[in-house]
Amino acid sequence: MTGGIPVCCNINEFEKFAISALGEDVADYYQGGATSESTLNNNRKAYENLKLRPRVMRDVSNRDSSLTVLGKTYRSPVGISPTAMQKLAHCEGEIATARAAGAMDAIMILSLMSTVSLEEVRAHNPSTTLWMQMYIFKERDITLDMIRRAEKAGFSAIVLTMDTAVFGSRYRDIKNQFAMPPYLSLGNFRHMEQHHVDLKCLTGISDYINTQFDDSVNWNDVSWLVKSTKLPVICKGILTGEDANLCLEVGAQGIIVSNHGGRQLDQTPATIEALPEVVQAVGDSIEVYIDGGIRYGTDVFKAVGLGAKYVFIGRASLWGLAHSGSNGVAKVLQILHFEFDQTLALCGCTCADDITREMIVHRTYYEDILKKYLSSKSTRRKSAKSQSKVHLAVLRVSKSPEKHRSKTRKLRK
């Protein structure tokens, strides 16, 4: 315990603490997923289904666990995905998360639905690598205005979230009648008071933004967005090879394989299951990143081994934030970094490029071997029978060693 706050050694402990410390409705909002929560749970299960085949005795004394994204190398192999309304977890909200990302040399993607404006986050964190998450609104000028603000504030990429044509059904939130508390506001939209939106009335802004979500958006709009900014555009929410190729066609510079942490369409594959299809479709033509279900350094190793150039965490950073603000987020990033480096070493790798396909296998690989092995037990019985024949022969001919030796030699052949 430090000052009454328990020390957490891994992400699960951070989660347990956060869930107990946050109000039930906020905990549910952060933790929950869409519909049956099958995708949410599968995001984790799928990592458990992958096993490591470590190589040993390979001199791993000189290790480098950094990863390179869009030409820039980051010490932390794990970045932070956009999550809305971080002041629900800690009074400093997104400012604290960005401070931790800066300290750990990780990329932070700021949610458009942040409780601190993008300018304030930047002003408090001049050296953090910040990417701005974006939606395409019905009023395209809202999107354009946000892009200009992000460009001016020195954000280095626009992340277009593409898996939210409509909102997923999050039954926990419906049951809790979850709403942003009135003492918070969506920082990036504060100026909308001038746009006849009553910000003092919470439903005013949330209703306004909800009506601004455009379910007619399509690839032409993505192309428009790419042309509307000098910043690289990263497409978030891609799960198929077909869409990955379209990202390439419209000129995007990165793809985040994501199912929104299981909060949008239920019954999609886990992101680690979808990753190989996306990587195979685009090859090296565009960088592919991943989020969803990452809780251990071994998960980072598996994702990188299957072709992700970088990985992002959503909820894990919120658990750290709820635990102890900026320090908590930094600790979460530190743990994942440490575990990734440890996994590299224990698998016989010195850097991400050393991870080979043979080091990661599906659980069924071992099941198949075991099945084959067990079905070959008739052969083993036979050999056991031969063994006992040898044994009997030894007993029978013990008085005549020479005769016995030639007989056992024949039996062994």
Ligand X SMILES: Cc1cc2nc3c(=O)[nH]c(=O)nc-3n(C[C@H](O)[C@H](O)[C@H](O)COP(=O)(O)O)c2cc1C
Tell me the sheet residues that pair with 2.
5
- Work out whether strand 157-161 and strand 78-80 pair parallel, antiparallel, or are unpaired: unpaired
For 223-242, letters b (16+ CB in 10 Å) and e give bebbeebebbbbbbbbbebe
CB of residue 82 to ligand X, shortest distance in Å: 4
Query: Counting contacts by CB under 6 A, is residue 168 touching ligand X?
Result: no
Q: According to the binding rule CB under 6 A, does residue 83 interact with ligand X?
A: yes
When asked if residue 30 is in the footprint of ligand X (CB under 6 A), the reply is: yes
Our finding on whether 81 is near ligand X (CB under 6 A) is yes
Q: Is 260 in the site for ligand X (CB under 6 A)?
A: yes
Q: Does 293 bind ligand X (CB under 6 A)?
A: yes
Binding to ligand X by CB under 6 A, coded x per residue (else -) over 317-336, reads --------------------
Q: Which CB atom, from 26 or from 352, has the smaller least distance to ligand X?
A: 26
Shortest distance (Å) from residue 295 CB to ligand X: 8
CB of 220 to ligand X, least distance (A): 21
User: For the range 109-113, what are the long-range contacts, defined as Cβ-Cβ under 8 Å and sequence gap of 24 or more?
Assistant: 109/79, 109/80, 109/81, 109/82, 109/133, 109/159, 109/312, 110/82, 110/155, 111/82, 111/83, 111/84, 111/85, 111/86, 112/82, 112/146, 112/188, 113/84, 113/85, 113/186, 113/188, 113/209
Per rule CB under 6 A, is residue 161 in the interface with ligand X? yes
**CB closer to ligand X out of 237 and 307:** 237
CB-neighbour burial class of residue 377 (10 A; exposed 0-12, middle 13-18, buried 19+): exposed
Binding piece for ligand X, criterion CB under 6 A, among 57-65, 70-78, 240-248, 311-319: 311-319
CB-nearest residue to ligand X: 314
Smallest gap from residue 86 Cβ to ligand X (A): 9
Residues 258, 268, 327, 343: which binds ligand X (CB under 6 A)? 258
Question: Cα separation of 57 and 30, whole Å?
Answer: 42
User: What are the residues whose beta carbons fall under 8 Å from the beta carbon of 19, sequence distance 6 or more?
Assistant: 27, 31
Residue 291 binds ligand X, judged by CB under 6 A: yes
User: What is each CA distance from 41 to 28, 32, 48, 362, in whole angstroms?
Assistant: 14, 10, 11, 18
Say whether residue 84 binds ligand X (CB under 6 A): yes
Q: How far is the CB of 76 from ligand X (least distance, A)?
A: 15
Question: Is 90 noted as a catalytic residue in this protein?
Answer: no
Return the active site residues: 260
Chain residues that interact with ligand X, rule: CB under 6 A? 29-30, 43, 81-84, 111, 113, 133, 161, 236, 258, 260-261, 263, 291-294, 313-316
